[in-house]
Structure 1
Amino acid sequence: MINSKDYMLSKLWRQKSLINQFIKREVIGRYRGSYLGIVWSFINPLMMLVIYTYFFSVVFKAKWGSGVGESQVEFALILFCGLITFNLFSDVITRSPSVVINNPNYVKKVVFPLEILPITILGAALVHFLISLSILTLGLILLMGVFNWTIVFVPIVLLPLLFMTLGLGWFFASLGVFIRDIGQFLGLAVQALMFLSPIFYPISIIPESFRVFYYLNPISYVVEDMRKVIILGQSPDWTWLIIGTLIGMLLSWLGYLWFQKTKGGFADVL
């Protein structure tokens, strides 16, 4: 019986080599068959940054307001920062329900650790996030002449999101085996959550009576802190980081327990 976080961590640590191999395969396999291969991982975020910068600086002439993002270029970079952060979460959540279904051969192998499959998705998403982050950093330097030392806080800022995403990944990977429609539902839910998160607008423009819903959304804190440490050169919300990390660790552990308790029935369904 799995009844401790220590057991979970030790078991996953023993599988680190296999996890690394699967992450590498996932990253490379995404563009398998294309001529440019993994180069698309650099082209896609670069094109996103160019498109956002053009449309918001030339077409919409948008500004973030409140003394931040007064220039259209800065607005585009702020928007891009929020999007790549949210995409790290959404990529894992939308793919998790099908990760076990798409690998039925591993389910039939008694010795194969199925719990690494959601970790593989998260690892691949993190690789693509880091590529996008490098594009964002390059854009800040070339377009605005800015490079803030507070970017070193990015790993800490991401901790709550990574823990929560992994926990939900385990939960939905299991649920997706028994309820095939969950993937369709999550696609819609993730889209709704994107517009309910401060990605395309700052929280400051939300009426006070509705802000409570944004403060209950953990994505809001992560997106705001990412902008602080990368673009604004400010320190993150340390109170949230402590609380959010603890909540994320708890959610990750519960998701792992759920996956372990339900995986015994995967073979019967598949």
Structure 2
Amino acid sequence: MPQMIQALWNYRGFIKGSVKRDFQSKYQNSLLGAAWTVLNPLAMIVVYTVIFANVMHSKLPGVDNTFGYSIYLCAGVLTWGFFSEITLAAQNMFLQNANLLKKISFPRLCLPVVVVANATLNFAIVFTLFSVFLLLSGSFPGWSFLALFLVLAIQILFSVGLGLILGVLNVFFRDVGQFFGIALTFWFWLTPIVYPAAILPEAVKRLMHLNPMYSLIQAYQGILVQGEWPDLQTLLYPFILALVFCAYGFTLFRKHSGDMIDEL
């Protein structure tokens, strides 16, 4: 592990340059530029608010208006977008950088770091604006806001582990990427983001606890909507699963890193 960290530190210039290049190329020849980072999730939130606000806000504890439901949506949609951006980019990171991997010698774990850095930069832009909005509207949750960093750390760890597994498997089985894209859509709707968990039958609620994103999204919503500190026991399951995924992902990567070059 210390050697891995040292190798990544030695190539910090490569990582920084890759993040800068990816960010610039994403908005090259775009009139609105980085504004699209904000407009895409904003459009989704507006659509869901218009469609579901009148039905759902009355079912949310402590929320009795459309404004509160919009904050509830932001808490789930923005953080889910962060998760999906990391995992979707990670599953293709080796395929998209095939030429680079074949021609240049560098620690291949730089690629997951670049993926996470890019997604974190985009998320930071959107969430900073959202936080400013909460302050100006008088809806800022207070000191419990600090708990977001713990929940985000667990989510990033989980996303990296899952993304690394998908990234390696996708090199050898290209159907993995197609399947995960579909699975992610179902996963979104099977997680209480647009609707509250309170409307679900008790049997479904019990099954919902098997979904690691359920606990994380619930924690975000509790912090940002109710201003509550998250129950650490509910975060234990996604944290342990994140560690397992990371351990398996790194093992899979180290075992097949040589074979991947032949497959690319």
Structure 1 length as normaliser, TM-score?
Answer: 0.87
How far does the alpha carbon of each residue in 1:192-215 deviate from its partner, in whole angstroms, 9 at most, with x for none?
Answer: 111111111122221111222210
Deviations along 1:206-236, one digit per CA (max 9) or x if unpaired, are: 1111222210111011101111222221101
1:1-270 paired onto structure 2 within 5 Å: 5-57=1-53, 60=54, 62-109=56-103, 111-142=105-136, 144-149=137-142, 150-270=144-264
Normalization by structure 2: what TM-score? 0.89
1:54 shift after superposition: 4.6
CA contact (8 A) 2:72 2:221 kept: yes
- Tell me, which stretches of 5 or more residues in structure 1 are unaligned? none
Counterpart Cα distance in 2 of 1:254 and 1:68:
41
Report SS of the residue matched to 2:34.
helix
Identity rate of aligned residues, in percent?
29
What secondary structure sits across from 1:101 in the alignment? helix
RMSD: 2.3
Relative to 1, partners in 2 of residues 1:64 and 1:14: Cα closer, same or farther, differing over 3 Å? farther
Secondary structure (helix, strand or coil) at the match of 1:113 reads coil
2:71–2:224 CA contact under 8 A, matched in 1:
no
Higher helix share: 2
The size of the alignment, in residue pairs, is: 263
Q: Which amino acid in structure 2 is aligned with residue 146 of structure 1?
A: S
1:106·1:112 contact (CA, 8 Å) conserved in 2? no
CA distance in 2, matches of 1:121, 1:222: 21
Cα separation, 1, equivalents of 2:55 and 2:206: 30
Q: Distance in 1 between matches of 2:132 and 2:42?
A: 10
Indicate if the aligned counterparts of 2:37 and 2:122 stay in contact, CA closer than 8 A: yes
- Unaligned runs of 5+ residues in structure 2 are none
Q: Match for 1:175: what amino acid?
A: L
Letter in 2 for 1:223: I
